[in-house]
Amino acid sequence: MKKIVVLLLTMILSLVLCSCACIQHDWISATCTSPQKCRKCGKTEGVAMGHHWNAANCVNPQKCSRCGITKGNPSGVHSTKYGKCNYCGKFIKELSSEWSTLIEVKNNTAQAIMRAGQAINIAGNLSRAIDEINLFYSELERAYSVFNSNPNDFISMRKSFDTLLASYREFVKSYNAATSKSQRETCVLAMCQTYTNWGWDSFNVALKDYTQN
């Protein structure tokens, strides 16, 4: 009889204990400052995530992208050294005439090459395509006028342009050697493809260096 009472008491006690603990935790995700935590029993697991700081700029202090808490003061750093600041809208400074020219060269060559390809693929008009390639070449010359008057700048960009110019010269050679319209069209389309593959990597890197903080 005594044994049974003890057993019953033990059972009751363990039931009471069980109802206090969680059978299944109800986790609240970890935050910047708190580890994952059970909503029911308060047990924590793991560590807090820590803040994820975005850099300060001319308008905002350092700010956590997760919880939005801020730290310190605005840094006064604009998004750019030239043109208009993306954060505060202030106009900082005009681009140099060299860079303005090179940006035009980028846009104009890309458009000329696109139209050259269309002239052949859509309109079947080789002579119009050649007009566009000539326009493309005159834009290359404008880039070289910038390089030649600034021999100490744009050095890696110039090297990259040299490969494009060499491909253009190859194109002229093969175009002149072509004996049929379709061969000439193939030459133009190959030049368009070469330009596309060439890309503007060195230009983009240099422009970023020049304009960004």
Residues that bind Zn ion (CB under 5 A): 22, 25, 32, 38, 40-41, 43, 51, 58, 64, 66-67, 78, 85, 87-88
> Which is closer to Zn ion, CB of 88 or CB of 140?
88
Three-state SS at 3: helix
Residue 80 Cβ vs Zn ion, minimum distance, rounded to whole Å: 8
Residue 43 Cβ vs Zn ion, minimum distance, rounded to whole Å: 5
CA distance 72 to 60: 9
For 55-159, list the strands marked E by DSSP.
62-64, 70-71, 83-84, 91-93
CA distance 125 to 119: 5
Please report the DSSP string for 161-178 in residue order.
Answer: HHHHHHHHHHHHHHHHH-
CA distance 187 to 85: 44
> Which is closer to Zn ion, CB of 125 or CB of 211?
211
> Which is closer to Zn ion, CB of 80 or CB of 108?
80
Residue 74 Cβ vs Zn ion, minimum distance, rounded to whole Å: 9
Query: Which DSSP helix (H) or strand (E) runs through 36?
Result: strand 36-38
> Which is closer to Zn ion, CB of 36 or CB of 186?
36
Residue 97 Cβ vs Zn ion, minimum distance, rounded to whole Å: 24
